[in-house]
């Protein structure tokens, strides 16, 4: 499984970030993404509402049940070992966090999942890699620009970067040239308002635009 996900990130390059969308709509969102050519989907935990953690795992399980390996599902905003375990039990294949936390990375790897912690500085990025991260999510990329990614990549060529935050079809080529392996895309691709209104065709069109931007 790990090898498949590593290859999927390398080839697909786009992970759709699903945040703030009701569980019953996640399957429809997944279908819209699939139609647009995107086959990786991160369903996030809402850390502000611990009571909602179970709904995230239910969403993960429902998408996997419906689509199998047509959509490779991961869990996002994972900040505790317990949440790693919850996500794994639901079937998530990769774990994404906004921060770098060694116990979270170690548990992810112990369970055979792919680790994608968030970092910003050279120290955080190198530490995440030392802990075993498969990819390091540079967040928020859009606030600092591709120039920052390029500067960070220069001494850290051995680390695979994911650009997350403020990524658009228009600026993706610059981030690819700066050294990003792939991207996590949230509101610019999976708008909660589109999902709420049932405007899934807009998600499909956005997915196609992002796929074109990465050369797919």
Nearest in space to 13 (alpha carbons), one of 143, 212, 181, 199: 181
- Rounded Cα–Cα distance for residues 134 and 5 (Å): 10
User: Is 137 among the residues known to form the active site?
Assistant: yes
- Rounded Cα–Cα distance for residues 183 and 137 (Å): 8
Q: Which of 12, 31, 42, 93 is catalytic?
A: 42
User: Is 4 among the residues known to form the active site?
Assistant: no
Q: What DSSP assignment string belongs to 61-123? A: HHHHHHHGGGSEEEEES--SHHHHHHHHHHT--EEE-SS--HHHHHHHHHTTPEEE-EE-SHH
User: Are the C-beta atoms of 108 and 76 separated by less than 8 Å?
Assistant: no
Q: Which of 13, 101, 137, 160 is catalytic?
A: 137
Active site residues: 42, 137
């Amino acid at each position: 499984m790990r090898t498949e996900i590593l290859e999927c990130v390398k080839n697909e390059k786009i992970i759709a970030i699903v945040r703030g969308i009701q569980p019953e709509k996640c399957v429809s969102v997944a279908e819209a993404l699939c139609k647009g050519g995107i086959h990786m989907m991160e369903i996030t935990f809402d850390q502000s509402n611990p009571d909602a953690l179970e709904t995230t795992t239910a969403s993960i399980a429902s998408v996997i049940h419906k689509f199998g390996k047509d959509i490779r599902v991961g869990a996002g905003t994972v900040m505790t070992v317990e949440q790693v375990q919850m996500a794994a039990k639901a079937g998530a294949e990769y774990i994404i966090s906004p921060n770098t936390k060694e116990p979270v990375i170690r548990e992810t790897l112990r369970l055979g999942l792919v680790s994608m912690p968030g970092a910003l500085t050279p120290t955080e990025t190198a530490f995440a890699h030392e802990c075993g991260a498969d990819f390091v999510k540079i967040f928020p990329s859009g606030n600092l620009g591709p120039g920052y990614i390029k500067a960070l990549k220069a001494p850290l060529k051995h680390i695979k970067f994911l650009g997350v935050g403020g990524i658009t079809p228009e600026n993706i080529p610059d981030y690819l040239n700066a050294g990003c392996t792939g991207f996590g895309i949230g509101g610019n691709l999976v708008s909660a308002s589109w999902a709420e209104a049932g405007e899934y065709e807009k998600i499909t069109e956005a997915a196609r635009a992002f796929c074109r931007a990465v050369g797919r």
